[in-house]
Amino acid sequence: MQDVTTLSFMSLAARYGGPDVFWTEYFRVHGASRPEKWILDSIRLNPTPIPVVAQVIGNDIPALVRTVRELQRHPVAAIDLNLGCPAPVVYRKCAGGGLLRQPERVDAILGALRDAVQIPFTVKTRLGFEDVGEFDRLLEVFARHPIDLLTIHARTVLQMYRPGVRYDFIKRAVQCLKCPVLANGNIFSPAQARQVLMQTESRGLMIGRGIIRNPWLFDQIRASQAGKPGPTPSGRDVLAYIRALWEAEITPGIRESAQVQRMKKFINFIGEGVGGAFLHEIRRTDTEAGFWSICKEWLDHDRFMPLEPISTGLPGVVSPPA
């Protein structure tokens, strides 16, 4: 996740169990690019035993080949090509999800990178740019190349993160591709993770935004798969997590309002699991004192918090818990 899966966030996530594998932020690749130092730091300075996959994004084949050869000099578990980023600033440059409009170009990029990558080579995609009807053509392209893993976010690029995740298309990929497939898109609870795995028959799950909201989620899913009870965080546990996030993400010398704004990037996800007016209040403060006052008002309790998305439109869910 861009501007999220930094070295500091990866280190913090590992304290709560963490994933089996981390993906870096994406390296932006173009004719004059060099691998960004701060992303390299998340590989070179990784203090955890969790392997790290280096993710690249771009459409310039010589530059991509040059970059992946350089990245392989670092301790990376694999090289991943991003074909799924739905940000307009990316897809308008025909990178990320924008490349899905040009299957022939994707075909050429995959061939060149497969030749250049001597370690596992993985790809992340969406179902198409505009319509899921594009997916069959993309599957034909993926099937032509010996990639080692395909992650599928089961939405189109233009769909962004709106409702309507099509897990049935992931199952179609599982059935017709030789490589393992990971399911991605709106994984937010152990029960829902189990359902997605059963429905898609995929080899595993990639989880992004859900882990910002609930850092216990990986361990909860592992426990669920093993038939054991998982972590059950309370409001105070969530409050402690937010404090740890604040410490991990603080920038020395940054002004107070900027630090609060930085935290809102994470709170926008966490707040989906708190509900009520929590997010409404947080979004309207720009002081540290105000930020913590709101967090304590809503989270300073010992009741279990599932941290699953809550519709703020539910009647009656308007006040902090008593």
pLDDT at 58: 97
Distance CA 192, CA 225 (A): 12
Q: Whole-prediction pTM value?
A: 0.92
Active-site position among 85, 94, 179, 295: 85
Residue type for 90, please? V
pLDDT at 253: 86
Distance CA 228, CA 222 (A): 8
Q: Which residues of the chain have pLDDT under 50?
A: 312-319, 322
Distance CA 179, CA 160 (A): 26
- The phi, psi pair for 44, rounded to 5°, reads -70, -35
pLDDT at 316: 32
- Mapping DSSP to helix (H, G, I), strand (E, B) and coil, where does residue 66 land? helix
pLDDT at 252: 83
Rg (CA), the chain: 20
Distance CA 31, CA 13 (A): 34
Sign of CA dihedral 42, 40, 83, 142: negative
- Mapping DSSP to helix (H, G, I), strand (E, B) and coil, where does residue 47 land? coil
Q: Is 85 a catalytic residue?
A: yes
pLDDT at 251: 83
Distance CA 102, CA 76 (A): 29
